[in-house]
């Protein structure tokens, strides 16, 4: 059987990786402040800006900036935010033919506060993201079928995400499930994910275990494997990332330490870049090393999608197999 970190379609002579993202798209409303407010406290901010976000959209952009062909499946509102999101996808070279405009709700929005030390908190109003249905994804399964990697998250309904994962498995497409935001999940969803990727908080939620050390993280990841996952890639923030399967675990540290000014979207940058290199057929720990480096660049810049590195900012040899 094929190795779980690469698809049967991945060959050195192939063209650029093809990735399908089924997930969310939001408009980010970002406030910068000296520190995050305490409960009930009002603070004066230093700056405000809007930006494009949503975990699905962010991961799609991160992959597209490296040169992947990306198909985005999502639902946006028939409002100014929705129109701007579609225009942004087009400007990034992402296919918009499977994006649905819906009059029944507003586009998704995320209210983000960012402090001077780069930490953040986020409130999301899902809007049309919650309305993307199983039937709508099934009707657009050709873009899943034609991909090398399907990338999913949990900012749309779990049933819709599960349907996308099942379609990908049916068509022999490698699947990545980013378990964000943290929530309880049915065991069935893990059986259809080749790679499950939580952060430490999400790992605690999924496993029911406290994660205070690397040893804790391995044990918690093994609980997800017991529930049906094949491999678990845990993102560990400034520490790096951790690969766990049923037999072994490998810690992949961040090689170059940076001074973070805005961590918003760093996990999405990691996942989009990781999916790109997985689709290229790169060994999984090397995919993690490269994704660590890309995410490390993103946290040194303000904003979400605007902070993600472009292909030309990364080592040229990483792309030697892309035509």
Just list the catalytic residues.
268
Give the span between the Cα atoms of 310 and 180, in whole angstroms: 24
Q: Which two tokens stand for residue 253?
A: 């540290």
Q: Which two tokens stand for residue 121?
A: 């908190």
Alpha carbons within 13 angstroms on the beta-carbon side of residue 207 total: 26
Annotate 237-282 with DSSP letters as a single string: GGGEEEEE-SS-EEEEE-SS----S--TTHHHHHHHHHHHHHHTT-
Give pairs for 250-256: CB < 8 Å, separation 24+.
Answer: 250/285, 251/214, 252/285, 252/288, 252/289, 252/292, 253/292, 254/292, 254/293, 254/296, 255/289, 255/292, 255/293, 256/293, 256/296
Burial class (CB in 10 A: 0-12, 13-18, 19+), 212: exposed
Residues in the chain: 323
Give the span between the Cα atoms of 168 and 162, in whole angstroms: 10
Q: Closest Cα to residue 287, out of 298, 276, 299?
A: 276
Omega into 92 within 30° of 0, i.e. cis? no
Alpha carbons within 13 angstroms on the beta-carbon side of residue 101 total: 12
Give the span between the Cα atoms of 264 and 28, in whole angstroms: 10
Q: Is 296 helix (H, G, I), strand (E, B) or coil?
A: helix
């Amino acid at each position: 059987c094929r190795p779980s970190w690469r698809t049967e379609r991945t060959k050195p002579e192939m063209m650029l990786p093809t990735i399908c993202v089924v997930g969310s798209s939001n408009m980010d409303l970002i406030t910068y402040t000296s520190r995050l407010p305490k409960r009930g406290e009002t603070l004066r901010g230093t700056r405000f800006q809007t930006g494009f976000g949503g975990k699905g959209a962010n991961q799609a952009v991160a992959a597209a900036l490296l040169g992947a062909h990306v198909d985005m499946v999502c639902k946006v509102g028939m409002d100014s935010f929705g129109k701007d999101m579609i225009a942004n996808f087009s400007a990034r070279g992402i296919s918009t033919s499977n994006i649905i405009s819906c009059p029944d709700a507003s586009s998704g929005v995320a209210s983000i506060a960012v402090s001077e030390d780069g930490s953040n908190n986020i409130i999301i109003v899902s809007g049309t993201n919650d309305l993307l249905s199983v039937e709508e994804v099934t009707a657009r399964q050709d873009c899943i079928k034609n991909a090398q990697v399907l990338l999913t998250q949990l900012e749309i309904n779990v049933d819709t995400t599960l349907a996308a994962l099942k379609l990908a498995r049916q068509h022999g497409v490698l699947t990545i499930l980013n378990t964000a935001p943290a929530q309880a999940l049915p065991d069935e969803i893990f059986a259809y994910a080749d790679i499950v990727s939580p952060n430490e908080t999400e790992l605690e939620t999924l496993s029911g275990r406290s994660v205070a050390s690397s040893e804790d993280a391995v044990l918690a990841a093994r609980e997800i494997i017991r529930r049906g996952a094949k491999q678990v890639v845990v993102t560990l923030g400034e520490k790096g990332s951790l690969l766990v399967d049923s037999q072994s675990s490998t810690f992949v540290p961040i090689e170059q330490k940076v001074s973070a000014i805005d961590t918003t979207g760093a996990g999405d940058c990691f996942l989009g870049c990781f999916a790109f290199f997985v689709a290229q057929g790169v060994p999984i720990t090397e995919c993690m090393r490269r994704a660590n480096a890309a995410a490390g660049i993103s946290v040194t810049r303000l904003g979400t999608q605007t902070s993600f590195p472009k292909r030309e900012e990364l080592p040229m040899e990483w792309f030697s197999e892309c035509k």
